[in-house]
Structure 1
């Protein structure tokens, strides 16, 4: 039920951006819409009982849509809606890995100066994510992730199999858009929210996990 509510809310927010953009024409041009897809290289960084997590990068993907709303010459606000897979490998051999699927709402401030026959892309902004599913996969079988904000002290063993639903962080992007509207870009994300559940009676600093990652993507504007 929560997943459906979030998906509906996300669609409404994106729809609001689109309707506002369609009804607003500025002297620097109208709003455009685009699609984007690419590869993620993700990790989970943090601490467990005072020890740094030693997870490894995991490959995932993202796909979604966005709008570019002009606010001044060469400057845009770019809201979007993405499906993105994140997580981490527990070791170098990929024997065990955490997979988390998110719906994300990035809102980037974008600078697009003309460079050659196309445009340079430079942007930054926040994102909000909502986990819609996840598993810990290993040779012994798959275990579905639990989504809880709190763990009883006697269930600390479930720490690596439990995450919070909501994530929040910052985006950075740099790329190039060709005159045929095809674009390539490098993306980076820094999670700012602890997605680990709070363990009752424990020091919060002993249990911290944040999403971090980077990737490459291809986009097209209509």
Structure 2
């Protein structure tokens, strides 16, 4: 009886390893990189919308296409992505003639659900899904103009959950480090595994930090779109 049970357990383990190996052998590992055109939706404490403009950046990382059904895939990934915005308003306080550019760096983990039907010699790419991201730093610069005179300043960005932890000096707080939202994508994968896609992203969390422990009245959410080039191995 013991020998029989041992044999059955060994057979089950071998079957599980075989199935797992077969599933993993179908996973397509890829690299993806491209341009971001990021912005932020900002409202001040009086619920007035701050005028912001697109700030170009980039993203790069790896993806994993895991088949779940015929032409359907789950695609987790890990990306380094820059976000941010430009504004003619004085987002950091000060003079109304301040032009600022803010570039925030994130480690981002998207999990997209893909539909990849055959189209021509390649495949159409249609996808959507959530993402989570964690801010790790960045930079800002601003130019204050008054008449014929101007002063340029710059510094580093940091992420804080509460402004009471701010470092001060040339460092400015971008927002809370944790962000999450939704992705949309459409593209095409050629027969040689090279692909192009358009990406859209909408942040769903208010990332304005607390003010000395109190809930903030202002709101800020990341938004943006981009274009990517990818390759599957």
TM value normalised by structure 1? 0.80
Aligned to 2:36: 40
Larger Rg: 2
Contact 1:199 1:207 in 2 (8 A): no
Aligned to 1:52: 49
Q: Quickly say closer, same or farther: Cα 1:33–1:167, change in 2 above 3 A.
A: same
Structure 2 residue 104 is the aligned partner of structure 1 residue 100: yes
From 124, 127, 130, the equivalent of 1:126 is 130
CA shift, 1:161, in A, is: 3.4
Aligned to 1:212: 223
- The 5-angstrom pairing of residues 1-222 of structure 1 reads 23-26=20-23, 30-50=26-46, 51-91=48-88, 95-139=99-143, 140-151=152-163, 161-200=173-212, 204=216, 206-222=217-233
Q: Using the alignment, how far apart are the partners of 1:69 and 1:161 within structure 2?
A: 38
Contact 2:59 2:82 in 1 (8 A): yes
Contact 2:71 2:116 in 1 (8 A): yes
Aligned residues: 195
Q: Using the alignment, how far apart are the partners of 2:157 and 2:98 within structure 1?
A: 18
Q: Using the alignment, how far apart are the partners of 2:59 and 2:88 within structure 1?
A: 23
Contact 2:136 2:159 in 1 (8 A): no
- 1:193-220: per-residue Cα shift (whole Å, max 9, x none)? 111112248664x311010000111111
Contact 1:102 1:130 in 2 (8 A): yes
CA shift, 1:94, in A, is: 9.9
Q: Using the alignment, how far apart are the partners of 1:33 and 1:190 within structure 2?
A: 25
| Other structure's SS at 2:137 match | strand
| Other structure's SS at 1:53 match | coil
Contact 1:198 1:207 in 2 (8 A): no
Q: Quickly say closer, same or farther: Cα 1:70–1:24, change in 2 above 3 A.
A: farther
Q: Using the alignment, how far apart are the partners of 1:73 and 1:85 within structure 2?
A: 34
Q: Using the alignment, how far apart are the partners of 2:157 and 2:40 within structure 1?
A: 15
Q: Using the alignment, how far apart are the partners of 2:153 and 2:215 within structure 1?
A: 32
Contact 1:135 1:145 in 2 (8 A): yes
| Other structure's SS at 2:22 match | coil
Query: Alignment RMSD, CA only?
Result: 2.7
Q: Using the alignment, how far apart are the partners of 1:174 and 1:221 within structure 2?
A: 16
